[in-house]
Amino acid sequence: MTSALLARAAELDARDPLRAYRDRFVGSDDPEVVAYLDGNSLGRPLRASAERINAFVTGAWGGRLIRGWDEQWFDLPITIGDMLADTVLGAAPGQTTIGDSTTVLLYKLARGAIALRPERTEIVVDRDNFPTDRYILESIAQDHGSTLRWIEPDPRGGVGVEQLAAVVSERTALVVLGHVAYRSGYLLDAAAAALVTHDAGALLLLDLCHSVGSVPLELDSWAVDLAVGCTYKYLNGGPGSPAFGYVRAEHQDRFRQPIWGWMGRDQPFAMAQGYEPAQGIRQLISGTPPILGMLAIQDTLALIGEVGMAAVRAKSLALTEYSLDLTRELLVPLGVEIGSPTDPERRGGHIIIDHPRFAEITGKLWQRGVIPDFRPPEGLRIGLSPLSTGFGETAAGILAIRDELLA
Ligand SMILES: *Cc1c(COP(=O)(O)O)cnc(C)c1O
């Protein structure tokens, strides 16, 4: 059975139009890593990024020194923000910048958003939203005296538009939802969520951490108000690479974020008295942005530009479908349950499977070079980064999970 299964995986790899791109990643030929199934938590680096970072240290930083700020770095957060907008966000220029972490940017965007609806007292969020999102909103609610209205989604699915419609009202200032749920992989119908939110007169802030670079996005046409997302997952920016923030053009005149720093001031080098926000999206910046951390993102954006998001999504769906097939065949008979949507329209780039022994097995898998993520209480999350993950690798990973369950 195993050999037939591996032959089928080899056939899928041979037919994969994105197969060759996998070789562009550092470590794709490392025999110690049998299956990297966590590229949605920390993407692999591209070889081009190793070169770019090295060249930056010796050239732009070591050679141009402080002059680099005038020559390039001052505008880099906006330049890369526009590249991101164009390549993966479905957004016109001038609405996206990078810097800070997702956590901090989420705080800035959420505070700015509720200040746009001063007469409203409620923020809507769901229980399965990523912890940092829930905690940041708890902190804002406490400071601001707002009330959190919690949606309780199906843990194996996500927030349905009917559920959202049932909680929003004339009291809602802001709705904060994950686009792809970090645990179940459920893909929200973002355009419908925006419609329901706007019908209630509220604003929608989407967290795109688990969708950007794996699911095609159309922020402008979906009419999303604000968005945030990280760049070290499917965008392979490297550990701690800065997050991006999107503020829809129509809100930018009235929008004010709460951390007033010199780098987001109009004419920062005038060192003037009194804060005046910079024009446009630049106002979202607070302090000196992490230039080194922005380098690698550009290589993944160039690669996605070459391949196109439609091809990335097609491969992503093929990988998740294949993992579900293998799970049904090899793991469900051993008591494993599927915790992700089986409908491809509602599924992002990863799946999660549940079994009471997964907490114990994860360490053993890591030791044998099979690297998924454990998510409590008993979930093994299988991340399938479309540009760097192969079908043979996926099959080897799921076979190893079966072996550990049988051991
Ligand atoms: C990974 C992730 C984050 C991480 O936030 P950081 O500030 O980068 O630690 C936030 N939200 C979601 C949905 C995530 O998946």
Model pLDDT for residues 60-74, shown as the tens digit of each residue? 999 999 999 999 999
Q: Which atom of ligand 1 is nearest to the CA of 240?
A: 8
The answer to whether the beta carbons of residues 54 and 45 sit under 8 Å apart is no
In this prediction, residue 157 carries a pLDDT of: 96
- Report the DSSP beta bridge partners of residue 172: 122
pLDDT of residue 1 exceeding 80, the answer is no
Q: Would the CA dihedral through 208, 213, 215, 221 be positive or negative? A: positive
Read off the pLDDT of residues 307-332 as tens digits, 9 standing for 90 and up.
999 999 999 999 999 999 999 999 99
Measured from the Cα of 41, ligand 1's closest atom is 1
**Does residue 288 line the site of ligand 1, with CB under 6 A?**
no
* Residue of 394, 284, 382 lying closest to 340 (CA atoms): 382
Whether the pLDDT of residue 31 is over 80: the answer is: yes
Contact between 320 and 293 under an 8 Å Cβ cutoff? The reply is no
pLDDT in tens, 199-214: 999 999 999 999 999 9
Whole-prediction pTM: 0.97
Residue at token pair 């037919």: 15
Q: Where in the chain is the domain with CATH 3.40.640.10?
A: 72-304
CATH no. of 72-304: 3.40.640.10
Looking at the DSSP bridge assignments, the partners of residue 35 are 370
CB 175 within 8 A of CB 197: yes
Give the lowest-confidence range in 2-11, 227-236, 257-266, 285-294: 2-11
122-153 residues labelled b (16+ CB within 10 A) or e (exposed):
bbbbbebbbebbbebbeebbeeeebeebebeb
C-alpha of residue 243 to centroid of ligand 1, in Å: 9
What CATH homologous superfamily does 2-48+308-406 map to? Aspartate Aminotransferase, domain 1 (3.90.1150.10)
Looking at every residue in the chain, the average pLDDT score rounds to 97
Domain with CATH 3.90.1150.10 in the chain: 2-48+308-406
Tell the residue number behind the tokens 């909680």, with chain if given: 167
What residues act catalytically? 130, 207, 232-233, 381
The Cβ of residue 274 has, within 10 Å, a number of other Cβ atoms equal to: 6
The Å distance, Cα 37 to ligand 1 centre, comes to 18
> Quick one: pLDDT band at residue 2, thresholds 50, 70, 90?
confident
- Over residues 359-383, the mean pLDDT reads 97
